[in-house]
Structure 1
């Protein structure tokens, strides 16, 4: 029996923190900080309300990050998890002070005159709880872990906050033996992503004192699987000159869709079982740049409002793509510079400012499949041949958004330029 293959998305964001200079770091004694307003119990605050305070900024950040990635590699596939990068950086901001902190939060698209830091962290805390809500048919696990050199003494208040707000934990590691530390972190990520991301760290700078890892693992079944019997070889037109052969999945059924005449694109929503949906966005040939330029919160909410249920014959390529990003380079272009330099103030972590982020990496992986034979053969609706619905064929570059509909969060975002690119 063939094992069912699942749509799967994974991401890892890794931040390396090392000493500003090679001098021994002198550890300041633990300072007792005043009680944070966020320590106060939230008076029966609705978790969804609190999380909705940060979602619009997370969405803005997603599109800003996307544009940076697209500018750096215009002809490449793009795939990343904005919500996971945002959570990793928000956690970093919890340990930052001064302009280091302001830059990180503004880089995350927060307007600090409209929202307080406490609200941001509380919002992330609620968002992470809601995303991994039990009883959902979607398997979504997301978390942050700090690997710290065993000589580092993190402040108790910081450890308490990352646990309470980000479900994060700190693990003591031996960074003097960089191979051992690297293997420990790689094994940890391999385990958290169920063996799909084997090696995120190729090497580890011997001066590293701390590595922040944020991972997200997502596995879900289509609400209406594609029938494996109908998957066939077809061509995907990468550009005017190049076509590649792909496995094209086909399904005749009802989907919510919208034709955006102004942006010359079609939007098709494909629901997963549970509260998550994928939006496949197909620009007319030659209109990708125009579409990328118009990606905003307003555009996406207009699409969502305009969706209507149509019957169509949908063609989507099977794919398995990954994206790896140098977060440091992209974030510096977005104005987040201090935490990566000797001006970094990360004294909220250890009480001592002598640490900076030396390296930040992000890796994401996406697999889209029919969902295996058993499920698909039974539940696929094959209409009678005498009625022929319109065909919507994703056979040239398109965009993809995977959205948690309960919180309206963009879990993953990508551009498929060449489904055969490994």
Structure 2
């Protein structure tokens, strides 16, 4: 049995922005609930969203007191690409684990919709720097089927490189150099210790960089208390801005929601549970709750305090995915005969790495911000100073780009 080593690597570098894409997202969500799919990628939006929440619920169980951050779309894209080579029970497990209802959408439709989604997200005209793609590093003596390679390139925009895995140091350097370039230098030396029998490495990367239209003024960033729990607090740099934002306090699940749209077509949700209510909010978290928040959001001027922070996370996916029902690909029962024509491959390793940076975005642009500020006494205050959940959504495609929970902004 040969081994097939896979790595998912991504980075999100985010300076959030303020504009008005709430109606865009809500309209897309409402149309989807009525079964009206205006663009091909809308056919996979609900499945991808369900997978995002499913993955979050599993990760949070083993991460008490820790920061969580990942890209559900990156993981979904990588495993959907792997499905090109999966057959029979292995294929069914993959698609079911990714939350696709195979009675409602065919395997080919899933692949075609991912192709459309990748084209949409990589379109530079959307005023956001977002790059999402795949790469296959294949051993020089390993001969995948031509159809698999063609489909990977056509449907998933995958780069394909022939690599000498007999020289592991050289192979690691080649792959790490590619990842570093695609993530603008944010991820370096990710691949270490390649398995001796590795034949192919699959890399999925996502890089995003966006800016506030009305930036936080760095001069107003101050150290303030962040309450990790009822017994522990830390000092964090807290950004401040007075402006108009969509907000909602959900008394049913006890949390404050603030939405910060990016310049372009993306939204950042910040969900801060009331003290002691994190588990209650997490238990209820899902697409239905998100839909409720969209119908309840109101725009108002507030004094917003938001931590300035950066985090980096890394996950070995094998255990998580097996708990989500994707099991065979890691065992001798795997059927990946669509890659070679023979069922002699399995996954030896699956890695997911993410990076996020939230900051003010410069002083020059902030000069125009002050002219829009009204007296603080007229505005209510929302201070994100307790553990919070966040998710970043591309509004037109309803794609969950990133998701996480920040328990301690100082913990990188």
User: Could you tell me the TM-score, scaled by structure 2's length?
Assistant: 0.90
Counterpart of 1:373 in 2: which secondary structure?
Answer: coil
> Quick check: 1:48–1:126 contact (8 Å CA) kept in 2?
no
Match of 2:153 in 1: 163
Question: Quick one: structure 1 residues 210 and 47, their matched pair in 2 at CA, closer, same or farther if it must change by over 3 Å?
Answer: farther
Question: Quick one: structure 1 residues 89 and 197, their matched pair in 2 at CA, closer, same or farther if it must change by over 3 Å?
Answer: same
Match of 2:143 in 1: 153
> Quick check: 2:145–2:339 contact (8 Å CA) kept in 1?
yes
> How much has 1:175 moved relative to structure 2?
0.8
Match of 1:321 in 2: 311
- Give matches, 1:13-162, under 5 Å: 48-162=38-152
User: Could you tell me the TM-score, scaled by structure 1's length?
Assistant: 0.88
**In 1, Cα distance between equivalents of 2:376 and 2:74:** 47
> How much has 1:49 moved relative to structure 2?
2.6
* Correspondence 1:398 to 2:405: no
**In 2, Cα distance between equivalents of 1:54 and 1:386:** 44
* Correspondence 1:7 to 2:22: no
Deviations 1:171-222 (A, max 9, x none): 1111111111111111110110010011221211111111100000000001
Match of 1:33 in 2: none
Matched residue count: 381
> Quick check: 2:139–2:199 contact (8 Å CA) kept in 1?
yes
Match of 1:411 in 2: 401
> How much has 1:47 moved relative to structure 2?
9.1
Q: Tell me which moved more, 396-405 or 175-184.
A: 175-184
Q: Which runs of 5+ in 2 are unaligned?
A: 1-12, 17-35
Match of 1:368 in 2: 358
**In 1, Cα distance between equivalents of 2:393 and 2:106:** 26
> How much has 1:385 moved relative to structure 2?
3.4
> Quick check: 2:85–2:337 contact (8 Å CA) kept in 1?
yes
**In 2, Cα distance between equivalents of 1:256 and 1:381:** 21
Aligned residue among 174, 197, 203 for 1:213: 203
> Quick check: 1:48–1:407 contact (8 Å CA) kept in 2?
no
- Give matches, 1:192-341, under 5 Å: 192-341=182-331
> How much has 1:230 moved relative to structure 2?
0.7
Question: Quick one: structure 1 residues 385 and 203, their matched pair in 2 at CA, closer, same or farther if it must change by over 3 Å?
Answer: same
> How much has 1:370 moved relative to structure 2?
0.6
CA RMSD between the two structures: 1.5
> How much has 1:384 moved relative to structure 2?
4.3
Match of 2:23 in 1: none
> Quick check: 2:66–2:407 contact (8 Å CA) kept in 1?
yes
Q: Which runs of 5+ in 1 are unaligned?
A: 1-5, 10-45
Deviations 1:223-247 (A, max 9, x none): 2211111100101111111111100
**In 2, Cα distance between equivalents of 1:134 and 1:214:** 19
> Quick check: 2:303–2:376 contact (8 Å CA) kept in 1?
no
Deviations 1:14-44 (A, max 9, x none): xxxxxxxxxxxxxxxxxxxxxxxxxxxxxxx
Counterpart of 2:126 in 1: which secondary structure?
Answer: coil
Counterpart of 1:421 in 2: which secondary structure?
Answer: coil
> How much has 1:167 moved relative to structure 2?
0.6
> How much has 1:381 moved relative to structure 2?
4.7
> Quick check: 1:8–1:217 contact (8 Å CA) kept in 2?
no
Match of 1:40 in 2: none
**In 1, Cα distance between equivalents of 2:160 and 2:314:** 25
> How much has 1:333 moved relative to structure 2?
0.9
> Quick check: 2:15–2:361 contact (8 Å CA) kept in 1?
no
Q: Tell me which moved more, 46-55 or 319-328.
A: 46-55
